[in-house]
Amino acid sequence: MGYQIQQRDIDIVSQREKQCYVRLELLNTNYQTIDYLDSTVISGTLDINSSSDIRRTLSVTLFMKDNTFLTGTTTKIWFDKLVRVKLGYRYLRDGNIYYYTVGVFYFNEQDYKLSNDGRTLDLKLSDPMVMLNGTRQGDLTAQEIDIPVGSNIRQVMISLLNQYRIITKYNIGDVGNLGNQAINIYTEQDYNTVPYKLQFSSGTTVYTILDKLVNLYSGWQQYFDVDGTYVCNPLPTLQYESDVFDADIIESKCWVSSEERTNKFSDIHNAIYVLGETITADVSSETCTNSGSEYDVTNTDVTAYGDGYIYAVKVNVANNAGQTMKFNSLTAYPIVDSDGTTITANKMNAGTMYCFKWKNSKFYFLGEFQVQSCSILVNQEPTSAEKTAYEARFNTKNIFYRINPNSPFTVQGIGLVVDPKYDGDYSNIYSDDLCLERSNYELWKATNLKDTITLEGVVIPWLSVQQKIQYRSLLYGDIREYIISEISIDLKTQIQTTKMNPFYPLYPDTILN
């Protein structure tokens, strides 16, 4: 839960005259306050970046008033100390100073300077990710690390953090959990488990292993929050979240002094094609006829259905709703989607080879030999002829049409701009539903996060990245919702630079495929 804004906070930020303070609290590894870096802050910059592994960094220059600011085991700056940074502002109405926590940091680099102007100390600090990615700690020197198939992802992450005792504060969600679709019928593994064996060589960092686990399924992220807690949670789409504040507050309080807008056409794509794994079948047949809604498949090698077997069949006609299938003179059984529900009509094309897994007296539809999907941004529902053309172009029916009449990047607006995704981690996507989930996510990134607006204005210390605000553009004059991606605060001038992108929902209410 984010900071709960009160009217007093808005009043403090909106004061024309401000008395500003920077508090640097020294912490032990249990995050307990043990001392202060009590000195005059000459200058400094706080950066928060949602796309960076190290989300929060701080550069600050201090007057070094005594030798306790030197690096050493008995001084204030050493390996076993952290810094909690707070920005404070005196509220002129009651005279009190109110502090806002903006991050917890580890010392990373110290630069001492002695001159006629005095002694200064330049500090570069980073959030606790430096203790996982090898910058400060995190390198593993043990033998190869193997994570077997079926391991619960969340439990593996917790075990890894506990085993190496680097980070003790964490909040890890059920990575990979898809709600109602708990089991992937192809692998017969839970969606929140490792789908294939993972191997890491000696010298791998803790971060590398965590990053691999987090990205086994799309839409998850890892970072350290403002309190220094390791967090792994779904990437927020903010579709049902309220705005932190609206355009009227920003305008009435004069929080913004300048605006800049950047578009990069080369990064815009409105169709994402993902090529996943190639399925290996146990039995194949190109001989298929039909009797109404029943596929009758001929293969003399099949005398009984094999539990867990994958059957590849070249269907002769498009399927009906409630389609069934049988081999030779065996019993016919229903064809269902991976979640166990009966497949919809026309999901399969005549003359195309499809894979089915026999399990629980059902033929589970896996898709074609080649796992693939395509997600396309459109401003209205495509016609039947347009859908047929897309299916022919991308050689799949596994297509998601994201309808957003307000987006300037739709196919109708700028033409079809395709970004193919293949090889690497993409080749490990082992089912059509996961493939479609990935292409949907990549499409959201390819359109939603490219139109960047940069604001300069007053410091809003409780504001953070991945929050949604409402803002009236000084350039365009329109009111829109935006997602904050980066924040930079100049501690001396008290000017905040905020980068944000127009908000589009990841999964709008209308979904067609």
Which tokens in the block code for residue 183?
């089991």
Which residue ranges of the chain lie beneath pLDDT 50? 179-180, 509-513
Name the DSSP class of 270: S
Which tokens in the block code for residue 320?
């009906």
Three-state DSSP state, 197: coil
Q: Report the pLDDT value the prediction gives residue 231, as an integer from 0 to 100.
A: 97
Helices (H), 291-334: none
HEC assignment per residue over 399-415: EEEEECCCCCCCHHHHC
Which tokens in the block code for residue 506?
């990841």
CATH topology of domain 7-128: Elongation Factor Tu (Ef-tu); domain 3 (2.40.30)
Three-state DSSP state, 229: coil
Burial of 163 (0-12, 13-18, 19+ CB in 10 A): exposed
Distance CA 153, CA 192 (A): 6
Residue matched to tokens 């292993």: 209
Task: Answer for the pair 232, 222: CB distance below 8 angstroms, yes or no.
Answer: yes
Same fold across 7-128 and 145-234: no
Count CB atoms within 10 A of the CB of residue 180: 7
pLDDT tens track for 298-338: 999 999 999 999 999 999 999 999 999 999 999 999 999 87
Return the domain boundaries, the chain: 7-128, 145-234, 271-276+370-448, 280-367
Three-state DSSP state, 52: coil
Distance CA 405, CA 388 (A): 21
CATH number of 145-234: 3.55.50.10
Q: Report the pLDDT value the prediction gives residue 180, as an integer from 0 to 100.
A: 47
Distance CA 478, CA 103 (A): 33
Say what the pTM is: 0.84
Interhelix angle for 153-164 vs 206-214, to 10°?
Answer: 170
Nearest CA to 84 among 19, 176, 22, 1?
Answer: 22
